[in-house]
Chain A
Amino acid sequence: MVRIKLFNRSHVGFISVKKNVTFVQQAEVEDTLKRIEAREDVVGIIIVNLDGVYLRSTLDDALTAQYTKHLDRLTVMARSVVRNIDPEDDLTSLRLRIEKNDKHEIMVEVQYVFIIVRCV
C-alpha cells in the first residue's frame, strides 16, 4: 500500500488527477503481462518491489522466495558496478543465461525489479 500525502498552503486543496490514467495504464500492463505469461517459453513472472518483497508471482512460493532473495542481491551489486563507473548512469535491466540442464534465462528489469524465468 502506498500512501500519498499532499500539503498545500493555498486555500484550494487538490487531489492528483492522475488516477484515471493510472487505471487505463494498469489495464494495458496487465494485458502485456498476461501475454508474456501465455507464451510457451515463459516459465514464470515475479514482480518484486524495491524492498525485496515479492508482490505477485506465477511460480510457487519456495521457488519465488529463492529467486527473489538471490536476484535482489545480484541486482544491487550490478547496480553498484554500473553506478561506480558513472554515477549519473543507472542499471535498467539484466539478463542471465543458465547453460546447464534446463537452459533457463532470467530477465530482470530494475525499476520495480521484474523477474521472468524463461526456458530456452
Chain B
Amino acid sequence: MDKGDGLDRGKKSKPSDQLKLTEAELKENITKVLNTHNPHAPQNIVRFNYKEGVYQRVSVDHTAILFEMESNIVYQDSEEGRRLMLKQAEEEDRPDSVASKADKKGVKLGNFFHFTDRATQTLNNPPRQINCQTAPPPRSIFSATANQWQIYDAYCEELQKQEKQKATLLKKETDKSKKGVLVTETQVLFSISPLAKETKILERMVHQNTFDEIAQDFKYFEDPSDKFRGQEGTLLPLWTFQHEETRGLSVTALCWNSKYQDLFAVGMGSYDFCKQGRGMIVFYSLKNSSFPEYVFPTTSGVQCLDIHPQHFYLTVVGFYDGCVAVYNLKKKSLEPVCKGTPKTSLLTNPVWQVRWQNDDIDNNHNFFSVSADSRVVSWTLIKHELISTETIRLSVNGGLSNVPDDEQLQYFSSTAGGTSLDFHKQTDHLFLVGTEQGKIHKCSIHYSSKFLKTYNAHNSAVYTVKWNHFHPRVFISCSADWTVKIWDDTIKVPVFTFDLMSAIGDVAWAPYSSTIFAAVTIDGIVRVFDLSINKYEAICQQLVVAKKKTKLTHIEFNPVHPVIIVGDDQGLVSSFKLSPNLRKTPKVRKQMEI
C-alpha cells in the first residue's frame, strides 16, 4: 500500500534522455543470444613468440569464476583418505578424545536447534614500539704482523721486565737511604757520533768500489804467465798508501799486525841526519788505502816500531832522540801510554830497533831496544811506567869492559852502536845484535856480560839481522856495504853472500817458506830470492817505484796473505802481490842442505 515513502509507483514517467523510437521499430523482434562468451575478456592480447618470431594471439579463458571455496573433503579410497581414517581411528582410541567421551554419553548429533556458535572479539590493544639506542662503543681498527722476530722481541722484552723487577726488589731490600728523587735532565743536541762505526764501514764500502779491481786482484788473481816464465816471478802492484801529513818524511819502519792481518803500522821519520824534525806513526788497513786508520804525530822522528804479537793493540816505538814509547790503540788519545828516556841525555842516540818479548813472570809487558849508544836495554812496562834495565853493552873487544860513565872518548872507541836486533823465533832468550862496525853478536838475555858468539859480518854498518822463521840456525843480514849474507850460526863464515849492486835498505824472510827472502835497494828495485830454486840470482827483480830517485827503505811480508809492503823515502807505502812462482813452499826435507 502506499506508505508514503516517496516513491511514485503507478505513475509512468519518461526520462528526458530516453531513446525515441517509432512504432514499427518498437515491434521489431530483437533476438538475444546467450553464449558462453565472456564479454569482459579481452580479445586482442598478443604475445611475442620467440620461437617463430611473430606476435601471436593468446587465447583467453572465458570462464568467470564467481565463487571459490577450498574444500576439505578427501576421497575415501585415496592414500591420504586412508591415512586420515587411521588417524581418526587412533584418536578415537585415546581416552581423552572427544569422540570417546561422546561415545560414553551417547552420540549426540548437532543440529542447529541446539548447537550454536558464539563468538566474541576481544579488544585488540594497539601495539606500540619502544626503541632504545646506546652509544656505540669506541672502535679502532688494529692490524699487526706476527713474524718470527716480533715474537722473539716480545719474549726478550718480557724477560727484561722480569729482570728489572727482580733488580728493583733487590734494591728495595738493600737501599736504606730514602732521600728524595733527583731528576737531572740533560739535553743532547743531535749528534751523529753514534754513527762512527757505520761511517767507517761506508767509507770502506765506497773505497772497495773505487778500487774494485785491485781488491779482486788481491784476492783472486794468480798470474798465469808464471808457468811460461820458468822460475821467475813478478810482483803485481796493489794499493798505495799515502797520507798528506807525511810529506817530507820517509818510511823508517813497517810492521804487520799479527791479529788483524790487514792492518799494518808505518813509522815515519827521516834517515837524514840534518833533516831531523817531527815524525809520525800511521796505521793503515788494506781495506782503506786512502785514509789511515790511526795517526799519531810525534815530536821526534820514528826510527823503529814493533807490534806486540799477542797484545795486538800495543805498539812500541823507538825515536831518533833516544826515547821509546808505547802506544795503546784501544785508547782514544794520541799520546803514548808511557814514554821512556835514556839515561845518557847528552847525546841523541837514535833507537834503531825495538822488539817485544814475552811477558815476564808478573805479566808485565817487556821489550828490548838497541840504540846507537851501544846498549841493549830491556824495558818493562809496570803500571804505565817504563823501567829500563841494561841487558848488554856492546863493545869492540867482545865483553863488558869497565867503562866509566863520564869518559866519552873511551865510550866512542870501545863500544859500537847497535843498529839492529832480532830475537830467535823458537828460543826466547837468544838474540842477535848487529852493530855499526859491521859485526853481529849472538847474545842471550841471561848472560849480560859476554856474547855467545861474534861474527865479523860486514865491512860497514849492519842494517838488518833477521832469524829465519823456520830453520833454527839460519839468519840473514844486510848492510851498508851493499851485501846480503846468509849465515848458519854455528859457522863463522857466511853461507851465502849476495852482492846487490846498490845500497840495500832492508831484507826480510818470507813467513811461508824457509828459503825465500826479499831485499829492497835504493835504486827502487825489489829483489826476491829463493834459495831452493836459484842460489845465485834473484828469481824476481822488479822496479817498483815510479819516480827514479825514490829509495826504498823497508820491506815486510804479510804473515798470511801473499802480499808485501814496501816503504820508500817519499813516505809512500806500496803493496804488491807475489806471483805464484814466488810462493813455492819447499818440500819437507829431513836436513836443510846448505
Contact = CB atoms under 8 A, between A and B. Distances in A.
Chain A interface, >50% SS class = mixed
A21 B193 CA distance: 9
B206 A26 contact: no
Contacts of A24: 332
Given A32-B200, A83-B148, A87-B148, A55 B206 contact: no
Interface in B185-220: 185-203, 205-206, 209-210
Contacts of B209: 41, 105, 118, 120
Contacts of A22: 188, 191, 193
Interface stretch (B49-57, B174-182, B551-559): B174-182
B186 A16 contact: yes
Nearest to A25: B193
Q: List the 5 shortest-distance A-B pairs measured between CB atoms, nearest first.
A: A83-B149, A87-B152, A25-B193, A109-B198, A87-B149
Contact of A4 (B153, B182, B186, B199): B186
Contacts of B191: 22-23, 26
B185 A95 contact: no
A111 B152 contact: no
10 contacts: A5-B184, A5-B185, A6-B185, A22-B191, A35-B290, A55-B192, A87-B152, A107-B202, A114-B195, A116-B202
Contact of B198 (A9, A28, A114): A114
Interface of B: 147-149, 151-153, 171, 175, 177-179, 181-203, 205-206, 209-210, 290-291, 332
Nearest to A95: B205
Contacts of B188: 2-4, 19, 22
Nearest to B187: A3
A32 B199 contact: yes
Given A9-B181, A15-B186, A36 B193 contact: no
A13 B182 contact: yes
Contacts of B187: 1, 3-4
Name the residue in B175, B189, B202 with the highest tally of chain A Cβ atoms < 10 Å from its Cβ.
B202
A112 B206 contact: no
Given A26-B191, A41-B206, A10 B184 contact: no
Given A11-B177, A87-B153, A88-B152, A111 B183 contact: no
A6 B50 CA distance: 91
Given A80-B147, A112-B198, A42 B183 contact: no
A7 B181 contact: yes
A107 B205 contact: yes
A37 to B, nearest CB: 10
Contacts of B171: 9
A26 B189 CA distance: 12
A88 to B, nearest CB: 7
Given A1-B189, A87-B153, A7 B202 contact: no
Contacts of B196: 25, 28-29, 32
A84 interface: yes
B184 A36 contact: no
A75 interface: no
Contacts of A1: 187, 189-190
Contacts of B203: 32, 35-36
A15 B188 CA distance: 12
Given A87-B149, A88-B152, A111 B186 contact: no
A114 B205 CA distance: 12
Name the residue in B189, B201, B205, B206 with the highest tally of chain A Cβ atoms < 10 Å from its Cβ.
B206
Contacts of B197: 111
Nearest to A24: B332
B198 A111 contact: yes
Interface string A48-61: 00000001100000
